[in-house]
Structures are given as structure tokens and as C-alpha cells.
Structure 1
Amino acid sequence: MTKPNLSRRLPPLLALSLLLGACSQAPSTPTTSAPTTTTAPVSSPAEAHLGLGEAGVLPGGAPINQDASRNARLGPVTVPPGKGLSAQAFWGDLTSLVQLRVLVLHTGTGDFGLSTARALLRQNGIPFTEVDTTATTLTPEQLRSSLGVGLYSGVVLTSSALTVQDSSGAYVSALNADEWNTLFAYERAFRVRQLALFGYPQATPEDYGLRAVPGTESASTDVTVTPEGRSVFPDLTASALPIRNAFNYPTQLTPVPGVSTTPLLRDQAGNILAATSTAPDGRERLILTAAENPNLLHTQLLGYGLMQWLTRGVHLGEYRRFLQVDVDDWFSASDVFDPATGQVRPGAYRFGAQDAVSLRDQQSAIRAEFPLARNFRLAQAFNGFRADPAAPNTCAPDSTVKDALSAVTKCVAGSFDWVNHTRDHFLMDTMSYADSLTEIQTNFEIAAQLGLPVSRQAFVTPEHSGLGWYSPAPGTPKQDFGLQAGNAEMLRAAQDAGIRYVASNHSVLSQWNPECPNCGVTSPLNPNVLLVPRWPNNVGYDTTTPAEAAGRYNAVYGPRGTAPYHDHDLSYEEFLGSESRLGVLHILNGTAWPTYMHVGNQREYAPGRSLVTDWVRAVLSDYSRYSTLPLNTLKWDDLGAYVAGRTAYEKDKEQIVATWDRNTNLVTVRYLGPWNRAATMYLTGTNSTQGSTTTYGGRNLTRMKVGALGALLPVQPR
């Protein structure tokens, strides 16, 4: 049923986008966006740069525009009266069955909480249905089937009262009293949990047992997890969690008959910013009184626990975290940026034998220092044209060895994953089939001669060339002409060489799928090739020392740079802090995408130090300060296979129906697509020996094929 246009939406808030502009061999460029509020427009171009993270900075970015978060206001809400309709329709022919799908109730495309709900559910691969409560009347028929099966196993409210403003500016709920009663009756009948992503503590439309503490509202605070909160956020550490650029309402408990409230997060004054609450009718609810946004650190850190609580740890899809780092151009010489002159010296540095031995030891030290990354392994994308296959296998070559790096490469080969980057590093935008095949196959032959354990199905093209992102004329910036403008002959050669997975650039819009953040992209020129996006960062390709890295960055974004952004030149420590916070956010969003750097960044500029391992250590230090969830590192062949499986699931999941019997804790899964094929399915919270099962965060994640005949799996709810 369609509703009349009864209200206007609240101004969108915190509509921040993680937009990275970067090229393969240059710092990423900060992206300008329109302001996210109509009441406080941006006053200067610098303020238009969006930011994120603990300190509110984007790579190359200034502090974010705080006006959007300051306008993230809610308040006492009036619930429109209904017609007094009874919810008795729920009580006929109900079952103990619910489908593993989440209902998202929102107030339209401008709803500030909608992007958060979408992001958290997509990261976990959880199917969901959105209902715009300003346009659709909520009825029992939307919530349970004619056979008495509940259609949703969890409910997300973008704000606790689904707040909009009427023509006078007063806060009203988009649902009337009948609709709220319908929703509550459903949640009670099917034991479905409700998550409010942002809420003003009040008694309507229902009371959580919390009240705001006047005068404590702010856009910045720190919170810690309470002892009781560890049942919801078991992975979070005792460190204070920073909430930045997000308006929040600190609260205190208030006695409410029949309501039991458990604080989850408290600020330094002891005020509550998140709590679970049991309603008088037994329904379970969780409310956050700080605004959320998927590009903010606190939202991503809380997201895993929130989704597990909402679904009781049983849902379609899966969530894991990854630390993948690619380093391009092993064996090649590196350009070097001179911070004193601002000039680049072409080919001025070549990664050396001692650098390689030290890098192996630095990697081992990182594993020992950070148990959460105990299987961390750098992936080296190599160009074999300068390698000497006849070099001896030794980590201590003497002066008689023609190419010391080749000798040491043989010695440290087992320490890294190796990925084909072509023999000569020629751009492949217009390369012929024959030349492309020669570049790939010859490099594989060199790998075999050197004894490199190379990933055979993965490939990194030089500068992500051949994928439709190229310079239209010499000396001009690269442009995104789309994957259709790529090199089909190169892709055909790659396929014939056994390649199935090709690295793409996440900063190029056509080379990743914003609607499916965990999906690879099937090449439109060759359906047998899957593109796996890689994250750029601001460690310049032509930098080998801290002075060069900071100087390169400041030459662009410092006050005297080509794109002035900061009010001072950043020190190396400040630069590294900004970059590491972005790296942490990439980890938290659950994608398996590698961050890519370049071989000059691996120079041992001081004993046991390199720009690459400095970045890795900074990321791991920031991450482990807040979370105890382990980080996965996969070899490229395994990474490609994982991305292929997750991509297949994401494309099929709307035709996968999973029904959970709450009485028996058995889940029936069926694929409703073509009868003669099976779909890839992920199920979290299983207690099954079927398929392939991995344990992560204390939960079993099962991957298996499922067809029209279906499968029956036992589950263990939290």
C-alpha cells in the first residue's frame, strides 16, 4: 500500500563517500564533493574535501567539514495515530520458521542511516529488503507468508523512530501507531531482533529505558565497551573507541516498568551511547545514540558485532578481514623523487640483495610482533627481464655473482607470494596477442628457472594497462574509458596462458563494482577473466626513504604543493598516521583487496626498516589497538578463487532462500534459479560437516554448492 506524501525528510547527514583518486605511480588525489547539508554550505574549496577515520582525514585530505555531523539532530517524536486496526492477523497459522533475510526500514533515499545499513549488510553478504516507510504502509502481509513463515530474521531501523519532519518542521514518525504495532507484533511472534542505527532516547514509539543527559551532546567523544557489552562486541579491546564527526546523545538509565536495559558502550563520564533493551513483551532491541556512517572508524569497528547480534550469529553470507599487500616491479629499477629539488631521477635506484634479505626478516618480525597477522606475506609482482636464472642460490652473494639480487631472490623465494607482472613491464593497452602471450609466458619461464613459487592463475598488468584506463595522448593524464575500451587481445593471451584473475585499480570507477563491494568484476571483453581490485595509497612509487615519501606527498598536498590541502607540511610520522588509518578502514570493510605499493618502497633505508613495512606496522598497530579479529593473507591464486566464489554468491544470493527453524536449529537452503545448475552459498553460524567450513571470530562459516533440491544444515545461534 502506498502512503501519501506526508512529510519531508530530515536533511541528509554524514553522507561521506570514500572516493579515492589515484594513479598507479602517483599519490592519490583528494576528491571534491558537494556539501552534505543545505544549512551550512562549504565556504571554501579546501573544506569540500571529505575525510574519515579517527582524525578525520582522507589521504591528502584536510579535516572534514564538521557541519554535516553537527546537523545530525533528532528529537522528541510524535507518532501519528492509526485507525486502531488489530494485529490479530499475525496469530493465525504461525510457524517457528523465519527466512534468513533482514528488513531495513528507512525514510527514503535521503535517509542518513540508509548507507550505513546497506554497507554493513553488504559487507557480510546478508540478503536484505528495503522498505521506504514514507511511501509504503507496513502491513502483516509484508512480514510473513501465507503459510505462516516469517520473512525476516532481523529488522534494522535507520533511526529508532524513523524520524521525518512535517511541514511545520516538527519531528514525526514515518510509521503510524498501527504500523508500529504491526512491526512489534511480528518481532514478538517470530523472536526477531531489532537494531536502531541511531536514536534519540525517548519514550515513543517505544521506551528503551534511556534518557538524554542535557548539555552533553557533541560531535566527538570516546567510548569503551562495558563488561556486559563484550557479549555483543567480543572482538573489541579495552582501548577507548574514538567517535569523531558523528553527533551523539549521551544517556543514562531510567526505570521503566517491564524494560530491562543493558549498557554496551559508555563515555568517559559514564554516560551510555549504546545499549540492548528487552521490551515488556520480550522483544530484544539494540539502540545506538551516536550517528553512524560506513566511512567512519567507529561504525566499521562496531559493525561486525552489530550484525552478529542482529542475526543471532546465523545468516547467509560471511565476513572476514584481510591484510593483502602487493609490491610491484621486483627486479626493475625505480625512479627516485628528490625532495630538495622536486625533481624525479629516472631509474636511479634498484632494489638490492641486502634489501631483499632484510625484507624477509622484517616480514618475519611483523608476524612475531602481531599475532593477528601471523600468516602475513607480501606478494611480489615481478618483471624478470633483468633476472639472471644462472645465479647461485645464496643469501650472501660475493662480488663474483653477476646479479646479486637474482641470487638472493632464489634464497628468499619461499618467503613471498610471486605474481606475474610481465617480463619487460611494457604497457599493454594496444599490445598484440602474440606479444602479450610472450610477455606472460616468458616471465613464467623465468620464475620456474629461479624456483619462485608463483601464483599461476593471477596476473598484474604493468600500471593496470590493457583495462581501458590510459592516456589519450602522450603526456596527458590517464582517463577511464571503461572496460570495453580495454585490450581484448591481451586478455585472450592471458587466458591462454592460464590466467583467470587480473588485478585492477580500485581508484578507477569502471574497475570495481560499487553496488557489490565484495565482488570482482568479470571482464566484458572476456568472461573467463575476473578483475580483482587493488587499493592505492599515497606512498609514492618513486620514494625509498621517509624524507622522500613525506616530500613527495607535501609537494602535492602541502601549503606550497600543486594541490594545496594542509596548512603545514606533514612530517613522515603524520603522513604515516594518515595512511595507516585509511588502511585500517579498508581492512574493516571486509574486502580482500590488496593494497599495492612499489619495489623502491622496500628499500632498507635504516636497519630493519622500509616504507612498506613501516606502513604495515602502522596499520597493524592501529588495528590491533581496537580489535582482536585475525587478519587473513591469501596467495594470489587463492585470493582470486576466494573473490570468484564470493562474487558468484553475491550474484546468486537473491535466488537463494534459507529458512531457519527456530525450534530445531536447522536451516533449509534452496536455490530458485535454473534447475540444472547449483549456486555458491555461504552460511554463517553452522554446526555442519557439509561443504567447506572455516572458523572465524568463533563462528563457523560454511561454503557449499546448493541446487533446487536444497540442503539441510544445523546451526548454532549466539
Structure 2
Amino acid sequence: MVRLDAYPGPLYGSTVSSQGVGCCAPGEEQLVSISDNSKFPTANIKTGATMSTSGLYHYPATITDPKTTIEIARFEASSKGTFTNSSTAAVINTFGNRQQMAWFMSWATDWSATSNFLQHAYINWLTRGLYAGRRRIYFSTQIDDVGLVTDIYYPKGAQFRIRPADLDAHIPWVTSIHSRMPAGSNYFVELGHNGNGNIQSAVQIQDKGTDPYQCNPDTGIEYPDQKAVPLEWQKPIGSGVNNWPDSPANFAWSLNCSMLDPLGSWFLNTTNLNSYAHVSHTFAHEDQNNATYSDVNRELAFNIAWLKQMGIDQAQRFSKNGLIPPAITGLHNGDALRAWADNGITTCVGDNTRVLMSPHNEYWPHISNVSNNGYDGITIVPRWATTIYYNCDFANCTTEEWIKTSAGKGNFNDLLVNAIQVNSRHLLGLHQDPYMFHQANMRYIDTDTFTVGDQTGKMSLLMVWVETIVQEMNRLTTWPMLTLKHDDLGVLFLNRMALDKCKPTLQWNYDSSNSSITSVTVGAANGNSCSVPVPVTFPSGASTTAPGTTNEQIGSDPLTIWASLSGSPVTFTLDKALPLVA
């Protein structure tokens, strides 16, 4: 049994440290940490890693019955002196063959990173590390607008387009941060390409030179501003006016044209290319909320042709069926979604600040439908925005925008503290949604020097943010952090939804004395059948005679065995019996 928000007393072998007094009043902090993780080793959470209790009322306790009670979590002294000594935050009681865990603090996984962290203690203790499912952190950073020029928020009038040297600089940094992540981690950056940016740059370079023209047509795609419509407006099928020029009807620029642009040429180097993952962000970034089928079809087809000409479609981590929609538009436009499907697009990313998430489960993708989106069957993967804004390349810019548009307070360091609070909650809550960034955020060669934890040096905004979040996760856990390319993320989310709909079950089977678990039986509600394998996490080894199982163990994470269910349950025998009381 686990009790949350319990009041210290004889039932828990404890008493309040100061009779009847809890903590804390607004403005007073009392940090909490795991003090003993030996009873839930599969949680892989670290002792001594303090977290805030702000907003989580609690009762510091003292153990009164050490024969039955051990401390597993601890409060520090409070910041204003209400509690001058450390005290007990949570205990495990053992009364004969019965055990319970009690937490003397309130709980709020919907907003608190602390609750999301501490919950892994009781989940792994209660299940003894033996449960249907798996714990896995996926950490993906997608870079939109690669190739385009961005108008900068602050200072007004400034513009920025990423340079080859900026991309060069991120390659050794990825290697460095990867080496500092927990064992088993695999992190990379994914670029969302707009080919028209390459063509526009090449044409401008050509116009300044004296060499024979390589670019024909001698302009990129230019189009007038569209009529503004509400963000969630649903476009009537077949309505609208074409915004793209009539010519060229098909992608017509040569590789020699693209090579005039140093940024374009950079991707022709295979080592450079394979240092990143790649996905389409459409050709010219036309807003698709009110776009016609013709315009969107050409946005997709032109970019596919450009990606092929540049060899990007042959990259080791290229997503041919994925799309980052321009400004996350077109998701209520059936004409746009049909054009996507006609060009092989099955999966896109959405925006978690909008109504594009699944109405059924926040861990599922949203599947487009005619009534809400105008078209059936496009998989919309949820995606987080951050306070590193699309139109910022320096820290003072994104801080200014945070303050002016998002009620931020303080300086850039305060912004990063907020980023830790928000995004560690997502990751500790096992959300696998990718994070949205933009090409201006990768400005590096002429940026400032930053210190993030034990790392000091010149950093882009992307580097600073990733360093901040990764170092926080390293402080709290030993969980490996994995990146998936866009298409693979789509499969991950679809499989999660399919698995949940199977309603998998796990039965513990005991020895003759009912004191230990010796085996487990995996099943599913729908006749023990499931369209995807069912993961089961084990604290140690297990075996089965059933076919179709796959073992997976990454870094220090516990063993996961995937079981295929085709009408019959699957039983695993534990290599070592698991005591119920430990």
C-alpha cells in the first residue's frame, strides 16, 4: 500500500517534528530528496538530489518506531527558519508480512516536477520493479525553418540565416553532450528543411556575380500575403485561391544553382549530412490554413524534389513520410491534408498549446478526421514549444520576448530555471513529445559565452537549453535519453495507442508459501491478442518457452521483454524468486 499526503502518526511509525505544524507559507522553501533508494532500485533515481516543495504543503516528521519504520525521503531545513533541521518526508513501514509506504506531503503530478520525480519511488516499490510497460525517455529537438531567413524579434530590423559554421559547431557539441548523458543514451538534432531558402540564397549570390547564370528560373518562389483566418478555423473543402505563381509548374532548379549557396553545398558532404536527422518543412513555408490543394501539393512536391537533388533523402536518418507543417498550419484544411497524403506524408507534428492533441489520452497521437480536420488518417504527434522563441538568436532577445509575451520575470537565468521546472516535469512524467526549435536558435559562431553547470563556453540558444535540461535529468536519474527521427516517433506514438487499446494485463504467480513471485503471466483484455508486442519490465532475468519475445535493455534501465500475444497468454519464469516483503 502507498499513502500520499499522509499525516505523521503511530500508523506510520512517526510523529510531526513540530506538533501540528506543516510547511510552508508562500515564499518559504523546504527542499525534499530521496534519502534511501535501496528498496526501489529499479527506479534509478538518485539520492540527495533536492527538489522544490513550493506549492506542495507537507508535514516534516520524526520517526518514533525505528524497528518497523525506515526513512526513504527527507526534507531539508526550511529557508526562513520555520524548520531549522532536516526531517523525514516519507517512510516504509513493515508490520509482519504487511508493508506500506507513506508520504507526508501533498501530490500534484499535473503541474509539479517534484511529484513527477518522486512518483517513480512508489511505482517501482509497489510493483517491485515488475510491471506491464516500460520506462523510456525520448528527447528529440527539431529545428524548423532551415534554409530560410528569420526576422528577429529584438532588436527590430535584424535578420538571421544559419551558416555552415553554425552547423559545424553543433557536431562536436552533440558528441560531447552525448558522452555526458547516462549510459545507453543516443541524442541527435533533427533539421526541418525549406528548400526555397536555398534557391533564394543561390539566386541572390548569382545576381551579385559575373559567372554565367546557373539558376533558371532566376528567382525562388515568391507569393503574396494570404488572407488571415482564425488559428483553428476549418477551411471549406475546395475553397480558396491559389497563392503560388503559375510557373514553374514543377521543380526546375539545377544542383549547380543550389551549390551557389554555401549552406546548400554544406549538405552535399556526406559526413555533414549524416551528423543530423532530416525532415521536410515544406518548400516555401506558405501558411496552409487557407491554402488550396494546388499550392500545398506544390509545397510538398517541390521540397521532395529539392531534398532528392541535394541527396538529403539518402541521409541515414531521413524521414520520408514525415512533415513539420509550416507554423503548424493546415491541420484543419482537408485540401492540405489530402495533398500531404498524396505526397506520401503520413505523420506530422502538432502544437501542444492548441487543440491538436488527442482528446482521449495525452500520450497518444491525434488522428485527423473529416469532422475536425477535413481529412481522415493523418497522424499528428504532439510537440512541445519552449521559451527559446523562433525569432531569436541571442539570449537577450528570447528573454525580452518571454517577458513581453509570456509573463516572464527576470533575466535569462530565470528563463532557464523556468525551463527546468516545465520541461523536467514533461520528461519525468514520461512524455515522449519532441521539442520545437528554429534555425535562428542555432546561431553559434558570434554568440556569447555561457556557463551551464560544469560547462563553460560559447553556446547557441539550442545548446544552452539542451545542456540545461540534460544536466537536470542527469542530476536526478540515471535514465538513458534517446532521440528518434520524425518517422520513428510517429510509429512510437501509434504503437503506444495500439498497446493501450489492447488493455494488457500482468498476473503475478506465487510460490507455495505465497511469499514470493516466481513467474508472471501476460495477457490482454481482447482475447489475449494485441496488434503490437506488450512490454514487461523485470527487475532481473526471466525466460519463457513462448515464441515471439524480444529482450531489450538499455544502459542501466531494467530489462524489458516484449511479448507477442496471438490469442494465448504468455508466462515468464523469473530467474530469481522475488520476495513480496523486502
Q: TM-score range by the shorter chain?
A: 0.7 to 0.9
Q: Does 1:302 align with 2:302?
A: no
**What is the letter of the counterpart of residue 218 of structure 1?**
C
- Tell me the equivalent position of 1:543: 392
CA 1:358–1:651 in structure 2 vs 1: closer, same or farther (change >3 Å)?
A: same
- State the alpha-carbon separation in 2 of the partners of residues 676 and 285 from structure 1: 35
- Tell me the equivalent position of 1:463: 327
**What is the letter of the counterpart of residue 223 of structure 1?**
V
Q: Does 1:349 align with 2:153?
A: no
- Tell me the equivalent position of 1:362: 173
Q: Does 1:666 align with 2:519?
A: yes
Candidates 503, 510, 517, aligned match of 2:362? 517
SS at match of 2:481: coil
- State the alpha-carbon separation in 2 of the partners of residues 374 and 677 from structure 1: 29
Q: Does 1:710 align with 2:569?
A: yes
Q: Does 1:532 align with 2:381?
A: yes
Candidates 32, 47, 54, aligned match of 1:223? 32
- Tell me the equivalent position of 1:43: none
- State the alpha-carbon separation in 2 of the partners of residues 286 and 379 from structure 1: 42
Q: Does 1:492 align with 2:338?
A: yes
Shift of 1:351: 1.2
- State the alpha-carbon separation in 2 of the partners of residues 674 and 497 from structure 1: 38
Q: Deviations over 1:449-508 (max 9, x none)?
A: 2222221122111111111xxxxxxxxxxxxxxxxxx12232233233332221111111
2:181–2:481 contact (8 Å) kept in structure 1: no
- Tell me the equivalent position of 1:691: 549
Q: Does 1:375 align with 2:239?
A: no
1:423–1:440 contact (8 Å) kept in structure 2: yes
CA 1:537–1:330 in structure 2 vs 1: closer, same or farther (change >3 Å)?
A: same
Shift of 1:277: 0.9
Gaps of 5+ in 2: 77-84, 203-209, 212-258, 449-457, 512-516
Q: Does 1:404 align with 2:262?
A: yes
- State the alpha-carbon separation in 2 of the partners of residues 382 and 623 from structure 1: 30
Q: Deviations over 1:2-50 (max 9, x none)?
A: xxxxxxxxxxxxxxxxxxxxxxxxxxxxxxxxxxxxxxxxxxxxxxxxx
- State the alpha-carbon separation in 2 of the partners of residues 458 and 704 from structure 1: 29
Q: Does 1:437 align with 2:297?
A: yes
Shift of 1:421: 0.9
1:383–1:423 contact (8 Å) kept in structure 2: yes
CA 1:665–1:449 in structure 2 vs 1: closer, same or farther (change >3 Å)?
A: farther
- After TM superposition, the structure 1 = structure 2 runs for residues 16-55 of structure 1, keeping only pairs within 5 Å, are none
- State the alpha-carbon separation in 1 of the partners of residues 88 and 4 from structure 2: 15
- Tell me the equivalent position of 1:242: 52
CA 1:410–1:197 in structure 2 vs 1: closer, same or farther (change >3 Å)?
A: farther
- After TM superposition, the structure 1 = structure 2 runs for residues 233-312 of structure 1, keeping only pairs within 5 Å, are 234-255=44-65, 260-268=68-76, 269-280=85-96, 282-294=97-109, 295-312=111-128
Q: Deviations over 1:649-687 (max 9, x none)?
A: 12221xx34322123633323334278874552322272
1:235–1:627 contact (8 Å) kept in structure 2: yes
Q: Does 1:570 align with 2:374?
A: no
2:480–2:557 contact (8 Å) kept in structure 1: no
Q: Deviations over 1:311-343 (max 9, x none)?
A: 11122222212211111010011111224xxx4
- After TM superposition, the structure 1 = structure 2 runs for residues 34-183 of structure 1, keeping only pairs within 5 Å, are none
Shift of 1:372: 5.8
Q: Deviations over 1:616-663 (max 9, x none)?
A: 11112222222221211111222111111111112221xx34322123
Q: Output the TM-score relative to the length of structure 1.
A: 0.62
CA 1:678–1:715 in structure 2 vs 1: closer, same or farther (change >3 Å)?
A: farther
- After TM superposition, the structure 1 = structure 2 runs for residues 310-325 of structure 1, keeping only pairs within 5 Å, are 310-325=126-141
SS at match of 2:54: strand
- Tell me the equivalent position of 1:214: 18
- State the alpha-carbon separation in 2 of the partners of residues 627 and 330 from structure 1: 33
**What is the letter of the counterpart of residue 190 of structure 2?**
A
- Tell me the equivalent position of 2:480: 630
Shift of 1:276: 0.9
- State the alpha-carbon separation in 2 of the partners of residues 228 and 408 from structure 1: 49
- Tell me the equivalent position of 2:349: 503
Q: Does 1:195 align with 2:195?
A: no
CA 1:407–1:228 in structure 2 vs 1: closer, same or farther (change >3 Å)?
A: closer
**What is the letter of the counterpart of residue 305 of structure 1?**
A
CA 1:263–1:513 in structure 2 vs 1: closer, same or farther (change >3 Å)?
A: same
Q: Deviations over 1:108-131 (max 9, x none)?
A: xxxxxxxxxxxxxxxxxxxxxxxx
- Tell me the equivalent position of 1:95: none
**What is the letter of the counterpart of residue 298 of structure 2?**
T
CA 1:433–1:692 in structure 2 vs 1: closer, same or farther (change >3 Å)?
A: farther
CA 1:600–1:688 in structure 2 vs 1: closer, same or farther (change >3 Å)?
A: farther
- Tell me the equivalent position of 1:386: 197
CA 1:621–1:449 in structure 2 vs 1: closer, same or farther (change >3 Å)?
A: same
Shift of 1:588: 1.1
Which range moved further: 222-231 or 410-419? 222-231
**What is the letter of the counterpart of residue 292 of structure 1?**
W
Candidates 591, 594, 598, aligned match of 2:434? 594
SS at match of 2:378: strand
2:37–2:47 contact (8 Å) kept in structure 1: no
**What is the letter of the counterpart of residue 522 of structure 1?**
I
Q: Output the TM-score relative to the length of structure 2.
A: 0.76
CA 1:674–1:238 in structure 2 vs 1: closer, same or farther (change >3 Å)?
A: closer
**What is the letter of the counterpart of residue 12 of structure 2?**
Y
Q: Deviations over 1:596-624 (max 9, x none)?
A: 01111111142741111111111122222
1:688–1:713 contact (8 Å) kept in structure 2: yes
Shift of 1:250: 1.4
- State the alpha-carbon separation in 2 of the partners of residues 404 and 522 from structure 1: 39
SS at match of 1:406: helix
**What is the letter of the counterpart of residue 483 of structure 2?**
T
Which range moved further: 364-373 or 456-465? 364-373
CA 1:636–1:237 in structure 2 vs 1: closer, same or farther (change >3 Å)?
A: farther
Shift of 1:390: 13
- State the alpha-carbon separation in 2 of the partners of residues 688 and 416 from structure 1: 38
- State the alpha-carbon separation in 2 of the partners of residues 403 and 371 from structure 1: 39
Shift of 1:431: 3.2
1:516–1:650 contact (8 Å) kept in structure 2: no
SS at match of 2:345: coil
- Tell me the equivalent position of 2:207: none
- Tell me the equivalent position of 1:610: 460
CA 1:372–1:538 in structure 2 vs 1: closer, same or farther (change >3 Å)?
A: farther
Shift of 1:409: 2.6
- State the alpha-carbon separation in 2 of the partners of residues 625 and 497 from structure 1: 44
Q: Does 1:643 align with 2:493?
A: yes
**Taking every aligned residue pair, what percent have the same amino acid on both sides?**
21
- Tell me the equivalent position of 1:419: 279
SS at match of 2:143: strand
Shift of 1:549: 1.4
- State the alpha-carbon separation in 1 of the partners of residues 474 and 169 from structure 2: 24
